[in-house]
Amino acid sequence: MKTFAFKIDPMTGEDYYEVYARGRQLLNDPHLNKASGFSREERETLGLEGLVRSAVLSLEIQVERAYEAFLRKPDDLEKYIFLVALQDRSEVVFYKLVTEHLKEMVPIVYTPTVGTACLQMSSIQRRFRGVFITPENIDHIEMVLQNITLPQVNLIVVTDGERILGLGDLGSDGMGIPVGKVSLYVAAGGLHPHVCLPVCLDVGTNNQRLLDDPAYLGYRHPRLRGEAYEKLVETFVLAVKRRFPDALLQWEDFGKSTAFKNLERYRDRILSFNDDIQGTGSTSLAALMTAMRIKQSRFQDERYLIVGMGQAGTGISMNILAALAEEGLSPEEARARIFAIDMQGLLVEDDPTLEPPQRPMAQRRAALAQWQLESENTISILDVIRNARPTVLIGVTAQPGLFSEAILQEVAKSTERPIVFALSNPTSKCEATPEQVWKATDGKGLVATGSPFPSMDWKGTTLRPSQCNNMYIFPGVGLGALVAKASKVTDSMLMAASRAISAMVTPEQEAMGLLLPAMEDIRKASAVVALAVAKQAREEGLGRLLSDEQLEQMIAKAQWNPHFTQFRAG
């Protein structure tokens, strides 16, 4: 079912595609369609004569026309629909447009606009992208994978749609997330689009709105659970191993319980990682590393309040524990500095509802004996702030406005430069805006958010929030692991990625409160992360034994830049 293959001319060394499609089939294939960019020779040999207008337009002119059309769209959702339609027509034009306007378009192709799009996906869907695997076709998984027309598959981003951003269970309408993540892998990381595959495990939904909606396009059944669900995931993973043995599998937006289970079950069996757990944790750690430099502090000198112990909160906590361990603290000493709150309040060791990943962060009951509490039943955010005096406040709750002015002012009493991360997506779910943090802390707060927010002038100084976007980590991790041919992604590789990102922040950026590099440098950041990951894979005996210079050259060569490749008839 492949429509083309990558080739190199042995005589001239030219890269080209050997193309098996012809005529209208070629024009309707977004991987291959150049629109008016087909050369005279290609038109003649590939059955395109008379099917396109006379002029041969360069990629640059096509992108200019597309950008003009983009700017005419009245709102962000319409811009999203336009960009998806462009991607469905010509991927090269789409990626050239996005890479040239990356900062402007990332909020459209991904958060926050992708959240709005996912809420309406069955209504705005025009063409299907990627692969949908259901209980109805899982027994024919080999046939499903044979239907893929890509020349090869090196990256798979997969979701089951149970926890889409902060929006919850969206079933197969959540496919917008893997599609968006693939776009970021290409635009920010430089992976070739024709080796990237978005996948939805459409196992039903418990969202009654979708089940009752006659326009819903997904598997219209309650969500598959238990042994039947685990069997479907196992069948999928084994099929991926057989058909795409060198591919990296990224788990994306699964529910909390299944996310941790899938990560632990498969992280040593297949090259894979979970972006919501490990990517969020690594990006946040990079931002915290920069904050420590600004404060001239150490991790062990701070006290951490993390609100929301789902995948993101747990991942962040695990990374802080690792940073404390690197500074020489014992597990018990590290635990004493982290205060984790979930639905039941502060996590305490004797709570029978604790989940296994949460236990390392649960406080000893004896350590709380002298605390003054508002209620004996639940230890609240304010209880923790007043008794533990945290200096770092992190929110991943999807509860807008959770960090009130009173909470922010109370945290500011404990430190000269409070660190406040309000990381929930989309923008409407953010626990506090940067402006609210700065007003409550007299402009001294070091701020990171999940979605983009504007800068603010404060007493003659420009303050800039950092978007703690996983895009700083996951494209580079994927690129580095693939170039290194790593057998798995380890915690040490992700720690190396965090260090590399933090080191990119300049003193001038730190003076404005920035904790992560500028979004304009995201391609460079991906290359820096990829090199750090590849070197760490080599040091752990899990990757290719190449020199730093060789790895750097291979990563530079692997980063694809959008261009029209020559086609030859196959």
**Catalytic residue positions, numbered:** 110, 181
277, 311 contact by CB (below 8 A):
yes
CB atoms inside a 10 Å sphere around CB 212: 9
564, 59 contact by CB (below 8 A):
yes
Q: What angle do CA 556, 266, 547 make, to 5 degrees?
A: 30
Calculated CA dihedral for residues 147, 194, 201, 485, nearest 10 degrees: 110
Give CA–CA dist 456/443, Å, rounded. Answer: 9
Positions of E strands within 419-479: 419-422, 446-449, 456-458, 461-463, 466-467
Q: Which residues of 5-37 are buried (b: 16+ CB within 10 A; e: fewer)?
A: eebeeeeeeeebbebbbeeeebbebbbbbbbeb
Give CA–CA dist 455/462, Å, rounded. Answer: 7
Amino acid sitting at position 277? I
Positions of E strands within 169-320: 196-201, 248-251, 272-274, 304-307
Please tell me the number of Cα atoms within 13 Å of 183 on its side-chain side: 30
Closest CA relative to residue 111, chosen from 68, 70, 67, 166: 166
Q: What are the DSSP calls for 365-400, one per residue?
A: GGGGTT---S-SS---HHHHHHHH--SEEEE-S--T
